């Protein structure tokens, strides 16, 4: 709709150019870390937490909390983008690279359904989970990940809208086809690239 101008709108929350180019189209800068969850926050005890990879894999693998924390950990500085239109810049998480986790399982197909304690699901292509693009994280900005933000552990896929970064992550199933997860079945985009503004089914 080129050419449309909102009468009397100047934009009071503009950010400097060097930051603006890190904010995808239709997003605005947010300094806090809003909590958006469908349903109640599930209580997940570290003792019962585990991360499992199964489905079309060479080897099914599962790590309990202690084993998982003995894996090599990485700091992940990143910008994150929520489909509700806020972006948060220069935040950081710490956790285990999905490359390392998937190497142990050896996926035989191209798609994954990530699932969480509490029943949440989200679909991702293996391609979006490999090559240093995804992690399972247990810390946010130097502190244990709060329960409201997915603690004890969440998926982190910062190059896609943040609903893909499943809170309270429990595992992923490798599949030979793509299927919609929770939000993807409820009107949101199959892949969710913020730079292409893939918010909804029809985007």
Q: Which residue has the tokens 């585990």?
A: 50
The tally of CA atoms less than 13 A away on the side-chain side of residue 34 is 15
By beta-carbon proximity to other proteins, the closer residue of 64 and 119 is 119
What backbone torsions phi and psi does residue 72 show, to the nearest 5 degrees? -60, 130
**Segment lying near other proteins (by CB under 8 A), choices 70-78, 152-160, 166-174, 193-201:** 193-201
Q: Is residue 100 reached through a cis peptide bond, with omega within 30 degrees of 0 on the bond before it?
A: no
Contact residue for other proteins among 26, 47, 132, 146 (CB under 8 A):
26
Which H or E run contains 98? helix 98-105
Name the token pair of 175.
């599949």
Nearer to other proteins, 71 or 180 (CB): 180
In the stretch 163-182, what mask flags binding to other proteins with x, by CB under 8 A?
Answer: -------------------x
37 sits near other proteins (criterion: CB under 8 A): yes
Which residue's entry shows tokens 């469908």?
38
Give the CA radius of gyration of the chain: 18
80 binds other proteins (CB under 8 A): no
Tell which phi-psi region holds residue 19, choosing left (phi > 0), alpha (psi between -120 and 50) or beta. Answer: alpha
CB of 88 to other proteins, least distance (A): 11
Tokens of residue 129, six digits: 């989970």
Stretch that binds other proteins, among 72-80, 84-92, 96-104, 122-130 (CB under 8 A): 84-92
Least separation in angstroms between residue 145's CB and other proteins is 16
* Residue number, 6 or 59, with CB nearest to other proteins: 6
Q: Which residues bind other proteins (CB under 8 A)?
A: 1, 4-14, 25-28, 30, 32, 34-42, 82, 84-86, 118-119, 148, 182-183, 186-188, 199-203
């Amino acid at each position: 709709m080129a050419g449309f101008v909102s009468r009397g709108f100047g934009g009071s929350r503009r950010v400097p150019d060097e930051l603006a180019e890190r904010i995808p189209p239709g997003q605005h800068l947010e300094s806090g870390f809003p909590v958006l969850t469908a349903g109640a926050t599930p209580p997940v005890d570290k003792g019962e937490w585990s991360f499992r990879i199964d489905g079309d894999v060479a080897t099914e693998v599962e790590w309990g909390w202690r084993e998982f924390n003995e894996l090599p950990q990485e700091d992940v500085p990143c910008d994150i983008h929520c489909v509700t239109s806020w972006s948060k810049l220069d935040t950081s998480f710490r956790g285990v690279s999905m490359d390392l986790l998937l190497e142990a399982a050896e996926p035989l197909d191209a798609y994954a359904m990530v699932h969480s304690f509490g029943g949440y699901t989200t679909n991702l292509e293996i391609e979006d989970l490999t090559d240093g693009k995804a992690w399972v994280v247990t810390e946010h900005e130097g502190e244990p990940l709060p329960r409201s933000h997915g603690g004890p552990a969440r998926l982190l896929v910062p190059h896609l809208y943040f609903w893909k970064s499943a809170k309270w992550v429990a595992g992923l199933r490798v599949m030979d086809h793509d299927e919609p997860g929770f939000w993807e079945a409820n009107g949101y985009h199959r892949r969710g690239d913020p730079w292409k503004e893939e918010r909804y089914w029809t985007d």
